[in-house]
A = this chain, B = another copy of it.
Amino acid sequence: MPVVIETITSQVLKGNPLGDPHERRVPIYLPPDYERGERRYPVVYFLAGFSNGGVYLLGESLWAETLPQRVDRLVRSGVVRPLIVVMPDCTTRFGGSQYINSAATGRYADHLVDELIAYVDGRYRTLADREHRVVMGRSSGGYGASVLAMRHPDRFGLAVDHAGDKYFELCYRADIPAAVAALAAYDRSAARFLEGFPHPAAERGRHWFALVNLLAMASCYSPNPSAALGFDLPFDEYTAELRSDVWARWLAHDPVELVGAHADALRALRLYYLDCGRWDEHHLQYGARIYARRLQALGVAHTYEEFDGGHLHAGHRFDVSLRAVSAALP
């Protein structure tokens, strides 16, 4: 199974505020017949979930396929037509960039849309137009897929959003008490918690993930170059009270809020596939329902499916969406 790992030097990520690398390893899956012929292929940009992406997608395990293993099985069995899959690395030291530009993390959307697509189209036999270019992701990557589809209709003609972050009023807000509880052990100071993060030699407390996730989201949604951390937190570190001005900046990034202004871009998609588990642990099914209602009201064609499951171990849903992608490609 041919997977090439490219190392890409980003100009836009050079000198990024978190000091994260501007050289990124990007695995590229090539279909079985790529080497043998002259064909050109559609390209799927697969955006991984929070703290995942790039080569982290290649770790094998006993009971689950990696993404390229899954795609390869689907292509070889003829269920999905041959295509190229690119696995960008848009992680930051706090977890991930949400695939957007932020003054606190770097220009990850620009990296993906301006640099990575050009790089791939320049080096591989792609069908280098929007009609054959798919943006697909799950969780934070589902968020990225929907938002990139909204903002770059010239680049992407198909979008797949599995359990993407939506309706921040629930999916993030519900984690605030846990994050405040986690901060109690650090003198209520995010700065102290982040000293030496991610502390590889230390135990992770009970609410570790909730705190890390909200800090990372703050770096994406409420950057503030003049703040000590480079971003503002949307809640008080002791009382958990929402800071409504900061929160408003978060909401400006919520797909549920964004969709109205980008309906034309979404209407132009050949395929807009979304799903979510009926018991998503982060309440993302509710955001998905709200969003699907908005799409319907705006006349945006889409498929929304709920399945019996939660947020994890849902890789089998990619079989469903890739089949839909394959059928929708020209």
Contact = CB atoms under 8 A, between A and B. Distances in A.
Contacts of A174: 174, 177
Given A177-B170, A238-B289, A283-B177, A309 B203 contact: yes
B290 A241 contact: yes
Interface stretch (A28-36, A56-64, A110-118, A119-127): A56-64
A240 B313 contact: no
Contact of A91 (B51, B62, B95): B62
The A contact surface, by secondary structure, is loop
Q: Which residue, A62, A91, A95, A200, has most C-beta atoms of chain B within 10 A?
A: A62
A314 B309 CA distance: 28
Contacts of A290: 236, 239-241
Contact of A313 (B63, B204, B319): B204
Nearest to A167: B241
A52 interface: yes
A307 interface: yes
Interface string A176-201: 11001000000000000000001011
By Cβ-Cβ distance, the 4 closest A-B pairs, closest first, are A59-B59, A240-B286, A201-B316, A239-B289
18 contacts: A51-B63, A52-B61, A55-B60, A56-B62, A58-B59, A62-B91, A62-B95, A65-B200, A169-B241, A169-B242, A170-B240, A174-B174, A174-B177, A200-B316, A202-B316, A203-B309, A203-B313, A236-B290
Given A51-B63, A58-B60, 11 more contacts: A52-B61, A59-B59, A62-B198, A174-B174, A177-B286, A201-B319, A203-B308, A239-B293, A240-B283, A240-B286, A241-B286
